[in-house]
Amino acid sequence: MPRRCDVAIVGGGPAGLATAIATARLGLATVLFEPREPPLDKACGEGLMPSALAALARLGVDLDGVGRPFPGIRYVAGGGVAEADFPAGARGRGVRRTALAARLLAAAGDAGVELRRARVAALTPTGVAHDGGKLDARFVVGADGLRSRVRRWADLARPASGAARFGVVRHLRRAPWSERVEVVFGDGAEAYVTPLGGEEIGVALLWSGAARGFDELLATRLPAALGERLSGSETLGRDRGAGPFRQRARRAAAGRVALVGDAAGYVDALTGEGLAIAFEEALALAPALAAGDLAAYARASARLRRVPETVTRLALLLTRHPPLRRRAIAALAADPALFSRLLGVLGTGRTVREVGGAALVRFVARLARPAAPLAWAERGAR
Ligand SMILES: Cc1cc2nc3c(=O)[nH]c(=O)nc-3n(C[C@H](O)[C@H](O)[C@H](O)COP(=O)(O)OP(=O)(O)OC[C@H]3O[C@@H](n4cnc5c(N)ncnc54)[C@H](O)[C@@H]3O)c2cc1C
């Protein structure tokens, strides 16, 4: 086994595998450490935004034949419903993490990545120490997820403030009732329902406060109509949890260490942006490593995160302020064309400018109006 490589990647989740594919394709000798055996599963809403699919295509990874495409997003709150599709016929895709990991692993193998089934235990002055020995590497990439140890070892962690939020995911055998990803707001909790196939959905429950299980959250914090829809469906596999979500890094690189994906920081799962950010960062990181310019990567990461993280913070406001949420849902329902353009910013990488100033002013004016009685929506739409 070689004791030296160009890039040692810590973590074989989507961010680590995508980075490995990109660096190996650029001719960098790449070793990836992941202690878990496939199939690699994880708590995730499993909705890949169109921008995530576009980045995967640039990495040469296609997801044809797995999962289920979705055309847009549907928000449900307090009896109100707003739904729209991504602009220009763009599609996202609901894909089980195990299937996504299998495609990424195959592509990494094809690209010549060396996979080592081992846990990295520390950074050393010349590389990494792992549970099978040591490896020297010109660069180390921390792709070890939300609670990244590489982030701490490299002194890149920054304290996060705000209420801790968590997630738990269950898969159910039942036909999706909406072709879109549905986000249902409840009492300090949200459900994120992703169509994964003709007879499979994933339900991610996100919440703040004390840790609770899936069934208790569903029964006590979410609309009864959702529980009724899910009841009687066969549960597939076991529930998986994650959190606390909010994690911050001072920056995405220092010295010869770079962070990618959740290791480089995370705001919340509410807007389903994590995978797109991970893949886009991988595409930005590989050429920076090849050029030996990690400062360029740190700038690119900050730029890539600016819009999605701002949108996620705004969406989080809606979880904390039910009256504002009602107004926002009503405003989006009243203007599906605007909603579609906003989804373009969130999911397809369009710029805020493309939403149009006049439309944004109209939206903000609607938000400022007192919430109308929800007669338009009180048709049991939850
Ligand atoms: C409830 C929930 C719902 C979500 N919904 C969506 C969604 O719908 N769409 C979306 O795009 N994103 C979603 N996300 C976010 C998405 O899951 C993450 O952004 C994504 O998994 C990040 O990938 P990653 O590779 O950075 O981290 P991870 O997937 O966490 O992978 C990290 C890997 O590092 C490995 N590792 C850890 N420590 C070490 C070590 N010391 N040595 C070696 N390996 C190590 C772990 O075993 C793991 O495999 C959701 C997240 C949650 C929690």
Q: What is the pLDDT of residue 372?
A: 54
Return the ligand 1 atom nearest residue 49 CA. 11
Ligand 1 interacting residues, C-beta cut-off 6 A: 10-16, 33-36, 40, 42-48, 52, 119-120, 143-146, 149, 167, 169, 204, 242, 261-263, 269, 272-276, 278
Ligand 1 center to 219 CA (angstroms): 27
User: What sign does the CA torsion over 111, 15, 170, 192 have?
Assistant: negative
Q: What is the DSSP string of 96-107?
A: -HHHHHHHHHHH
Arithmetic mean of pLDDT, 337-344: 90
Q: Is 262 exposed, middle or buried (0-12, 13-18, 19+ CB in 10 A)?
A: buried
The two tokens of residue 122 are 């520390």
The two tokens of residue 193 are 């329902």
Contact 113, 24 (CB under 8 A): yes
Q: What is the pLDDT of residue 89?
A: 94
> Where do the H-state alpha helices sit in 248-381?
274-291, 294-320, 322-334, 336-348, 357-368
The two tokens of residue 148 are 């990244």
Site to probe by mutation for ligand 1, drawn from 262, 281, 343 as the one with most ligand atoms within 8 Å of Cβ, is 262
Arithmetic mean of pLDDT, 27-48: 96
Contact 224, 231 (CB under 8 A): no
pLDDT band at 162 (very low <50, low <70, confident <90, very high): confident
- pLDDT exceeds cutoff 80 at 179: yes
- pLDDT exceeds cutoff 50 at 378: no
- pLDDT exceeds cutoff 70 at 379: no
Ligand 1 center to 274 CA (angstroms): 8
Euclidean distance between CA atoms 141 and 374, whole angstroms: 50
Computed over every residue of the chain, the mean pLDDT equals 92
Contact 217, 168 (CB under 8 A): yes
Give the three-state DSSP class for 327.
helix
Ligand 1 center to 177 CA (angstroms): 27
Q: For the segment 119-156, what is each residue's pLDDT rounded down to a tens digit? A: 999 999 999 999 989 999 999 999 999 999 999 999 99
* Burial annotation 155-170 (CB, 10 A radius, 16+ → b, else e): ebbeeeeeeebbbbbb
pLDDT band at 357 (very low <50, low <70, confident <90, very high): confident
Q: What is the pLDDT of residue 380?
A: 36
Ligand 1 center to 261 CA (angstroms): 8
Euclidean distance between CA atoms 61 and 104, whole angstroms: 7
Return the ligand 1 atom nearest residue 33 CA. 43
- pLDDT exceeds cutoff 50 at 81: yes
Arithmetic mean of pLDDT, 251-269: 97
pLDDT band at 163 (very low <50, low <70, confident <90, very high): confident
Q: What is the pLDDT of residue 169?
A: 98
Arithmetic mean of pLDDT, 26-44: 96
Give the three-state DSSP class for 374.
helix
Q: Whose CA is closest to 79, among 276, 277, 325?
A: 325
DSSP type of residue 376: G
The two tokens of residue 75 are 């928000």
Q: For the segment 196-254, what is each residue's pLDDT rounded down to a tens digit? A: 999 999 999 999 987 679 999 999 999 999 999 999 999 999 999 999 999 999 999 99
Q: Which helix (H) or strand (E) holds 157?
A: strand 157-158
Residue that has been written with the tokens 């406001």 in this structure: 317
Ligand 1 center to 352 CA (angstroms): 27
> Where do the H-state alpha helices sit in the chain?
14-25, 50-58, 97-111, 149-153, 214-221, 224-230, 274-291, 294-320, 322-334, 336-348, 357-368
Contact 213, 170 (CB under 8 A): no
Return the ligand 1 atom nearest residue 167 CA. 1
130: left (phi over 0), alpha (psi -120 to 50) or beta: beta
Euclidean distance between CA atoms 164 and 209, whole angstroms: 7
- pLDDT exceeds cutoff 90 at 279: yes
Give the three-state DSSP class for 261.
helix
Q: Which residues contact 292 (CB under 8 A, 6 or more apart)?
A: none
- pLDDT exceeds cutoff 60 at 103: yes
